[in-house]
Amino acid sequence: MWLKNRFVQKLGGGWLESFGLRTWSNLQFASLSSRKDAEVIRILREIHREKRSLLSAFEQYIVYALGKAQSKKYDGAFAEVGVYKGASARLLCEVKGDKPLHLFDTFEGLPEAAEQDRQVHRQGQYAYGLEDVQKYLSNYANVHYHKGLFPESAVDVPVQSYAFAHFDVDLYEGTLGCLEYFYPKMIHGGIMLSHDYSLLAGVEQAFTEFFADKPEEVIDLPTTQCLVFKL
């Protein structure tokens, strides 16, 4: 597993990873189009064609569907840590209604990895500028940007409860920081969703350690994602 993960993620952000995801997602879109709402698939395909996302079509759909469900049923803000080019943030903007969406990213790529990450990534990987993401999401209201290393970048964020938090930070320390920050702030029934859980050892280890003494179960999804419902 480690060798496979290392090979896959060394391609991160490059044309080969993007090509592989587009090819795989086209097959997934064919499946989704046969049984899901046509307007939802139109939005996902549009984002897919923009080549901003490193999520598969199924992963995009999960972000969209969970965000929509949380927006309808619960009060509480939305958040994403690890924004990259803003593709999954746009999915959340489409469904959040008037809820605030807080977006956290260094906008300068990944920080230095820890030992738990097993030298999978390189520092500065997935760098993308804040101004471009702001322009991309400029048609959506109540979106707040926090540049810097999380959770230090959240120091000025008002204390509030969250209904949905999406993590795509790739690294052990970043994932652990997300869990430590958001877990006590999630409403009962709130969802924490993470990318790369079954792909990156550091992400999985952070979840395993953090929830070892918690009542919640980490749910391993058939994509690379996992989720936790706050009890």
Looking up tokens 């790529």, which residue turns up?
109
Instruction: Domain count for the chain, please give it.
Output: 1
The reply to whether 41 falls in a domain is: no
Task: Return the sign of the alpha-carbon dihedral for residues 9, 15, 16, 20.
Answer: positive
pLDDT of residue 125: 87
pLDDT of residue 15: 56
Task: List the domain range (segments joined by +) for residue 98.
Answer: 63-229
Cα separation of 20 and 150, whole Å? 29
What pLDDT digit, counting tens, does each position of 110-161 carry?
Answer: 888 878 887 777 888 888 999 999 999 999 999 999 999 999 999 999 999 9
Nearest to 93 by CA among 30, 127, 136: 136
The reply to whether 119 falls in a domain is: yes
What pLDDT digit, counting tens, does each position of 4-15 carry?
Answer: 455 454 445 555
Mean pLDDT of the chain: 92
The reply to whether 188 falls in a domain is: yes
Residue type, 177: G
To which H or E segment does residue 88 belong?
A: helix 87-95
Q: 158: exposed, middle or buried (C-beta count within 10 Å: 0-12, 13-18, 19+)?
A: exposed
CATH code of 137's domain = 3.40.50.150
